[in-house]
Amino acid sequence: MDLNLLAVFEAVARTSSFSAAARELGWPKSSVSRGIARLEADLGTQLLFRTTREVAPTAAGMALYDRVAPALGAMRGAVGELPEQAEEPSGTLRVTAPVDIGVLFLAEVVSRYTARYPRVRVELTLTGRMVDLVKEGFDLALRVSMRLADSTLVVRRAAVVVMRWYASPVYLARRGTPRSEEELSTNETLAFRTGPERLRLSGSRSAATPEPAARIVADDLLFLRDAVRAGAGIALLPALVAEPEVLAGTLVRILPRVERAVGHIHVVTPGARHVPAKVIAFRDLVLELLRTRTGAIAPA
């Protein structure tokens, strides 16, 4: 016997209505009706009298209800009293993230979070420095990295960061649109200053194709985005940074079959036996919103 059907029966018997029970359970009315029929078949007895005006338990149904209802009530109470369920997010939440992620994404997260949980206060620190969460008292960090060192931190991979080639409509009108990676060498390009590790291009004709020498190099992605938007040239930018500009018509993606996975966005929290509700709620909202950015970030 499917024990879940006991909860269906309890809801129908308590409300004296298939419709009311369906609304309470979030089920279609037809599924509730089929569930009761199946339970009666499993038990080999009729549990409910059904008329056009009302639903009432039979003697067997009343006996079953008297035994099932207290048990289900006790189970619901036990679940509701768990600390994770009972604790409403409150207090100060300290969050750190890189500047570009904060500017482009976290404003929306923090706005929704504080609106949803009015008892929480958020302190946000945007920095390129690798913050020591435990020593500096942070509750959560967003980090973009190819590798994260082993530690006592809890690391949750949230999304893949994808880089693509972009230019402004003004630049392309002046110089034309490159149709291959080789044609990039005849264009003005901009580059993000990174470490010495070379990252493989996925979807390119040849992973060994050299990248053009950039005339403008910077360590700030938002500066590069704005320079490309102003017509300075072509750049490999994170889709998270550039796709909103594509939707606005200020940037155009070129070489659409070429992109680079440069790492992941991670949600990092200090290791703890009991994670506060304020941290869980913020982490879950970050994951939810990241995974809706399907045009800008690939799911992890």
Sign of CA dihedral 266, 272, 276, 280: positive
Radius of gyration over every alpha carbon of the chain, rounded to an integer in angstroms:
28
Same domain, 200 and 239: yes
Q: What CATH number corresponds to the domain at position 45? A: 1.10.10.10
71 and 93, same domain (yes or no): no
Say how many CA atoms lie within 13 Å of 179 toward its Cβ.
0
299 and 172 within one domain: yes
pLDDT of residue 167: 94
Token output for 16: 């004296």
**What is the distance between the alpha carbons of residues 152 and 95, in angstroms, rounded to a whole number?**
18
Instruction: Indicate if 66 and 104 belong to the same structural domain.
Output: no
Residue 211's pLDDT is what? 57
Same domain, 300 and 232: yes
Task: Indicate if 135 and 273 belong to the same structural domain.
Answer: yes
Same structural domain for residues 170 and 263? Answer: yes
Shared-domain flag, residues 37 and 146: no
Tokens linked to 53: 């005006």
| Domain count for the chain | 2
* pLDDT at residue 202, as a whole number: 45
Q: Which domain holds residue 177?
A: 89-300
Match 């038990």 to its residue by tokens: 43
Q: Specify the CATH number for the domain of residue 102.
A: 3.40.190.290
Question: What's the pLDDT at 224?
Answer: 92
> Could you tell me the sign of the dihedral formed by the alpha carbons of 104, 258, 216, 175, in that order?
negative
Of 65, 81, 97, which residue sits at a domain end? Answer: 81
Residue 203: per-residue pLDDT: 47
Instruction: Identify whether residues 157 and 279 lie together within a single domain.
Output: yes
- Does 133 share its domain with 14? no
Last residue of a domain, one of 32, 59, 81: 81
Per-residue pLDDT of the chain (300 residues; tens, 9 = 90+): 677 889 999 999 888 889 888 888 888 888 999 999 999 999 999 999 987 777 888 999 899 999 888 888 887 767 655 554 547 888 899 999 988 888 878 888 999 999 999 999 999 999 888 888 888 889 999 988 655 555 677 888 887 888 899 999 999 999 999 998 888 888 888 988 764 333 344 444 444 444 567 788 888 888 999 999 999 999 999 888 888 889 899 999 999 888 888 778 888 888 766 788 899 999 999 888 877 664 444 444
Same domain? For 102 and 76 the reply is no
pLDDT of residue 206: 45
Using the 3D structure, point to which of 61, 81, 101 is the last residue of a domain. Answer: 81
Give the model's pLDDT for residue 1: 66
Does residue 157 sit in the same domain as residue 242?
Answer: yes
